[in-house]
Amino acid sequence: MTILILHQFFNTPQHGGSLRSYYLANALQDAGHKVVVITTHNQANELVEEAEGIEIHYLPVAYSNHYGFFKRIYSFIQFVLRIVNKAGQFKNADVCYAISAPLTTGLAAIWIKRRYTIPYYFEVGDLWPEAPIQVGIVRNYFLKRLLYRLEASIYKRAVIVVALSAAIKQNILQRFPMLTVQVIPNMADTEFFKHAHKNQELQKAFDVSGRFVIAYIGTLGLANGLHYMLDCAAATLQEKLPVSFLLCGDGAMREELRHSAKVRNLSNVRFIPHQNREGVNAIINVTDAVFVSYLPLPVLETGSPNKYFDGLAAGKLIVVNTGGWMKGEVEHEQCGIAVDPNDARDFVKKITPFVRDSGLLAAYQARARQLAETSYSRQILGRAFTGLFEKL
């Protein structure tokens, strides 16, 4: 079977960032399918590469996390127009797998279905347009209605909707009970990320020797609510706890957060630029806990962030400041803590036992790794994912 994957933000391990679509493509390739990926890059010309047998077409459509709302929309529309034309080269494909966000990738899948009669599956990683609406990015009444209609149209025309969490599935089925929705969460790469002793040279390089280290690795965006992490850093300084915070990544809020940390004289906070997978692994090596942060909004409780699964795979204590399924899971599995996103004192209260008791920390970390191996490994979820295409 020839499977066409549409994803505006496809990454390989050399690029860093989210690797979910790369893992999915690998799983399909290993199952004997021919996989063609259409994605974008910020270069001037189209580029074709091959990675482990996966054919990747990079279209010249510029995008940055620093773009404003309308510039992002322009980029999304450009991708739709270019991808529909590009798909004509693969009109004999058996199925298209369209990955959001952005939601507009689903619009491309609809047009490809109409023009080339290629059926499509649609993956929902974040509930669009509900997420940008609750965050406050989309406020215009007519634009909201248009986006909700687009969402419904995309879902209803898909063979299968793939949700990244049970909460997303529940939300979709409450509104569209006639759909077929399957859950394939994000994956923990338990072969690459392993629980390992801290490397002394890396500890020196990151200036965290003898410190309890908490890392946030991902987009520094508005929805991530990372001013709360700075509040936690200030609270630990006030309590004289030997805790360091590493914030790795890029995004619209990066400079504002850096400025705030400087003004507040947060000597225990360090910002690190976006890293590829090897760089992320180095950060995780010196880390005791991985921080998963969002604004306290209901829609953001449904997500399935990569940092959560990387943290589990590496056997790290998980700290979440959101409700929903992740809060329930870390508490039930005793592999992490859920903290009040409006009260940094709650964070200090809950993290202190782990800072002071290495045995308690090790027990929670071991359970995190076990959860990754038994529930979220690439091998387990890769088989579940490829099984969806046997039903076509």
The CA-CA-CA angle for residues 138, 142, 148, to 5°, reads 70
From CA 259, how far away is CA 19, in angstroms rounded?
A: 30
Task: Find, among 302, 76, 74, 345, the residue nearest to 185 by Cα.
Answer: 302
From CA 117, how far away is CA 358, in angstroms rounded?
A: 58
pLDDT of residue 371: 98
Answer yes or no: are the C-beta atoms of 322 and 292 closer than 8 Å: yes
pTM, two decimal places: 0.94
pLDDT of residue 303: 93
pLDDT of residue 69: 81
pLDDT of residue 284: 97
From CA 272, how far away is CA 246, in angstroms rounded?
A: 7
In eight-state DSSP terms, residue 44 is: S
pLDDT of residue 10: 95
Specify the CATH number of the domain 200-375.
3.40.50.2000
Across 194-211, b (16+ Cβ under 10 Å) vs e yields: ebeeeeeebbeebebeeb
To 10 degrees, the CA torsion angle through 319, 321, 327, 332?
40
CATH topology of domain 2-187+377-391: Rossmann fold (3.40.50)
- Which residue has 């063979």 as its token pair? 159
Note the Cα 359 to chain centre separation in Å.
30
What are the structural domain ranges in the chain?
2-187+377-391, 200-375
The residues, ordered by sequence, that sit 6+ positions from 305 with a Cβ below 8 Å of its Cβ are 186, 218, 292
From CA 245, how far away is CA 266, in angstroms rounded?
A: 10
Tokens at residue 118, please?
């290629």
Beta bridge partners of 183: 163
Identity (one letter) of the amino acid at 41? H
Answer yes or no: are the C-beta atoms of 333 and 286 closer than 8 Å: no
From CA 254, how far away is CA 237, in angstroms rounded?
A: 22
In eight-state DSSP terms, residue 279 is: H
pLDDT of residue 199: 96
Q: Do domains 2-187+377-391 and 200-375 have the same CATH topology?
A: yes
Answer yes or no: are the C-beta atoms of 3 and 90 closer than 8 Å: no
From CA 167, how far away is CA 303, in angstroms rounded?
A: 8
Residue 222 half-sphere exposure toward CB, CA atoms < 13 A: 13
- Cα radius of gyration (the chain): 21
H helix count then E strand count, the chain: 15, 14
Q: What is the mean pLDDT of each run of 10 residues along the chain (392 residues)?
A: 96 88 96 96 92 94 85 91 94 96 94 97 95 92 95 98 97 97 96 94 97 97 96 98 98 96 98 94 98 97 95 98 96 98 98 98 98 97 95 70
Task: Find, among 230, 292, 222, 298, the residue nearest to 265 by Cα.
Answer: 230
Please report which helix (H) or strand (E) contains residue 215, including its range.
strand 212-217
pLDDT of residue 66: 80
pLDDT of residue 16: 78
